[in-house]
Amino acid sequence: MCGIVGVVGNSNATDILMQGLEKLEYRGYDSAGIYVVNGERSNLIKSVGRIADLRAKIGIDIAGSAGIGHTRWATHGQVTEDNAHPHTSETGRFVLVHNGVIENYLQIKEEYLAGHTLKGQTDTEIAVHLIGQFVEDGLTVLEAFKKALHIIEGSYAFALIDSENADTIFVAKNKSPLLIGLGDGYNMVCSDAMAMIRETSQFMEIHDKELVVLTKDSVQISDYDGNLVERQAYTAELDLSDIGKGTYPFYMLKEIDEQPTVMRKLISTYADADGNLTVDPAIVKSVQEAGRIYILAAGTSYNAGFASKAMIEKLTDTPVELGVASEWGYNMPLLSEKPMFILLSQSGETADSRQVLVKANEMGIPSLTVTNVPGSTLSREATYTMLLHAGPEIAVASTKAYTAQVAALAFLSKAVGEANGKKEAVEFDLVHELSLVAQSIEATLSEKDLIEEKVQGLLADARNAFYIGRGNDYYVAMEASLKLKEISYIQCEGFAAGELKHGTISLIEDGVPVLALISNNEVLAAHTRGNVQEVIARGANVLTIVDETMAREDDDIKVSTVHPYLSSITMVVPTQLVAYYATLQRGLDVDKPRNLAKSVTVE
């Protein structure tokens, strides 16, 4: 979703902004722009499409020492140059970039901006006109910005430049992510550390409803009433080499391939050399005390929650309930006694999940964020954090974060079960079982050619498809279908295999692809085989992905056997490759599917 970069006090401002925007591309966007100031001269350049399109419009003479840049993911107003950021005030003096949604923008327009001419339809343009108007009315820039912040409702990350005094960037945030990057003799602002990691590893958090006055050698943070806030810088644990694509054609393929390494990294993080678990005892105690665990998440993370539910319940003896974050933020159901909330989130920035966490904090409910991004909003605001250690996930379609989430929850469940003295948890040799998982994934990855070939006949021209499975395979089917539809644009449903005959089977006709998942449970396998026969009888084109101990000769893709608690991890990997190859074969951009954003920072 939208991304912000800004820099003050560096003569390479244009280059820093453009490199930063390129690093933010993975978040998803449809247009981009930069504003660069060089003494008396300034340039505002915008473009719809890719950063490469913006780059093509930038002449070699556009140097500058300060500037702001933005990637826009349209919310208010279509994808046009006028609606792309940065936006300017009525006189053109103030220039602003914004992430988020200003909920009362129409009210503001009516109340304060009579006679103003707006170029586009965005909520952001109203904000910069408002600030400009307050300065026209006689306020200083800082006073005008503060006054506007008191009026504006909704979510925002702002970076503002006054073209008449461009050695300062004014910054504020509420609900949308924004960080300060500390350079040597210059300073930066950015939506995430990835955008500035080439320049610095030193960052400073900005909390909600804080305002920052940023110059090349100072960072002044205050609340909206002007009370100064002390904040320590922190070192981001990101390695520039982690965010390169290497020799891979797409990030998604690289990230699928990284999964065995991620499994081993989790073993070394959450177990010592003797195999004893090292999960934070405070987290274990908090889960032990819970009467019920509520997992709140969105999209792939939600599916990972489902894939972990049975394992958590069996190892901890604590019931687990799943909630769609975008629903629970505003429709919190009746909770049981002693609830504990687990927020699953790759990015740690998902606005819907954050809304639930805000509610949980108000209600005094203990919370654990399981995330890939240290220092992310959900990590900062939850009672506890467990990190996924999966390395940056750049492709919009999440892969290694899903498998890392299930594995991390396995460590948590075993640690809690052991603390409860549960025999099954004590006997579950997770370190060994996860090593087998890593090997099983490697075996699947060595079958890429076979998977590519199977997909060619099945999905290259398909308009719709079904994944079916039972038990954990049903939950994997949900994730597999999300993966396929989000990047290949094939309409796909993940279905409980036995439920198909209760209505949806009417959609099965000649040639409809049905992908059946069968992992290692004999009873469930036999029933799913029966459902496969039912769809074949109605003309479906079936592909089977089967645990090798259950497999028959004519099954299509065989997955080497792992512990049933962990089969969601190994069963999902071939489906990630199915989505990848189907998308390639349809000639689409695997890493940047239309309309989607990596970090969904609006509700």
Considering only 74, 382, 387, 397, the residue that binds ligand F6R (CB under 6 A) is: 397
Nearer to ligand F6R, 130 or 476 (CB): 476
Q: How far is the CB of 440 from ligand F6R (least distance, A)?
A: 22
Please give, one letter per residue, the 3-state secondary structure of 341-392: EEEEECCCCCHHHHHHHHHHHHCCCCEEEEECCCCCHHHHHCCEEEECCCCC
Q: How far is the CB of 473 from ligand F6R (least distance, A)?
A: 19
**E strand or H helix at 583, and its extent?**
helix 567-585
Nearer to ligand F6R, 279 or 298 (CB): 298
Q: What is the distance, to the nearest Å, from the Cα of residue 354 to the centroid of all Cα atoms in its chain?
A: 12
600 forms part of the interface with ligand F6R (CB under 6 A): yes
Q: Which residue is nearest to ligand F6R (CB)?
A: 299
Q: How far is the CB of 60 from ligand F6R (least distance, A)?
A: 38
Nearer to ligand F6R, 135 or 579 (CB): 579
300 forms part of the interface with ligand F6R (CB under 6 A): yes
CA distances from 347 to 178, 193, 297, 393, 581 (A): 13, 12, 11, 9, 25
DSSP output for 31-91: EEEEEEEETTEEEEEEEES-HHHHHHH--TT--BSEEEEEEE--SSS-S-TTTSSPEE-TT
> Where does this chain touch ligand F6R (CB under 6 A) — which range of 47-55, 297-305, 382-390, 529-537?
297-305
Nearer to ligand F6R, 387 or 524 (CB): 387
Judge contact between 180 and 187, C-beta under 8 A.
yes
Window 78 to 97, contacts with ligand F6R (CB under 6 A): none
Nearer to ligand F6R, 397 or 477 (CB): 397
521 forms part of the interface with ligand F6R (CB under 6 A): no
DSSP secondary structure letter of residue 547: E
Considering only 10, 345, 385, 531, the residue that binds ligand F6R (CB under 6 A) is: 345
CA distance 599 to 29: 11
Q: How many residues bind ligand F6R (CB under 6 A)?
A: 14
CA distance 114 to 525: 68
Nearer to ligand F6R, 300 or 444 (CB): 300
- Please enumerate in sequence order all residues whose Cβ is within 8 A of that of 450, keeping only pairs 6 or more positions apart, or say none: 557
191 forms part of the interface with ligand F6R (CB under 6 A): no
> Where does this chain touch ligand F6R (CB under 6 A) — which range of 3-11, 292-300, 306-314, 406-414?
292-300
> Where does this chain touch ligand F6R (CB under 6 A) — which range of 157-165, 212-220, 340-348, 413-421?
340-348
Nearer to ligand F6R, 353 or 568 (CB): 353
Nearer to ligand F6R, 347 or 583 (CB): 347
Judge contact between 388 and 270, C-beta under 8 A.
no
Amino acid in position 83: N
355 forms part of the interface with ligand F6R (CB under 6 A): no
Window 438 to 457, contacts with ligand F6R (CB under 6 A): none
Q: Active-site positions?
A: 2, 598
Window 19 to 58, contacts with ligand F6R (CB under 6 A): none
Nearer to ligand F6R, 277 or 396 (CB): 396
Considering only 51, 298, 518, 550, the residue that binds ligand F6R (CB under 6 A) is: 298
Q: Coil, strand, or helix at residue 224?
A: coil
Considering only 83, 398, 488, 519, the residue that binds ligand F6R (CB under 6 A) is: 398
- Please enumerate in sequence order all residues whose Cβ is within 8 A of that of 553, keeping only pairs 6 or more positions apart, or say none: none
CA distance 502 to 272: 49
346 forms part of the interface with ligand F6R (CB under 6 A): yes
347 forms part of the interface with ligand F6R (CB under 6 A): yes
CA distance 556 to 545: 6
Other CB atoms closer than 10 Å to residue 278's CB: what's the count? Answer: 12
353 forms part of the interface with ligand F6R (CB under 6 A): yes
**E strand or H helix at 190, and its extent?**
strand 187-190
Considering only CA atoms, give the Rg of the chain: 25
Window 478 to 497, contacts with ligand F6R (CB under 6 A): 482, 486
369 forms part of the interface with ligand F6R (CB under 6 A): no
Question: Please, what is the Cα angle at 328 between 327 and 330, to 5 degrees?
Answer: 80
Q: How far is the CB of 145 from ligand F6R (least distance, A)?
A: 30
Considering only 301, 413, 570, 576, the residue that binds ligand F6R (CB under 6 A) is: 301
Amino acid in position 516: A
Structure-token match 């996860």, residue found:
434
CA end-to-end distance (rounded Å), the chain: 11
> Where does this chain touch ligand F6R (CB under 6 A) — which range of 44-52, 268-276, 327-335, 342-350?
342-350
> Where does this chain touch ligand F6R (CB under 6 A) — which range of 188-196, 294-302, 453-461, 537-545?
294-302
Where on the chain is the footprint of ligand F6R (CB under 6 A)?
A: 298-301, 345-347, 350, 353, 397-398, 482, 486, 600
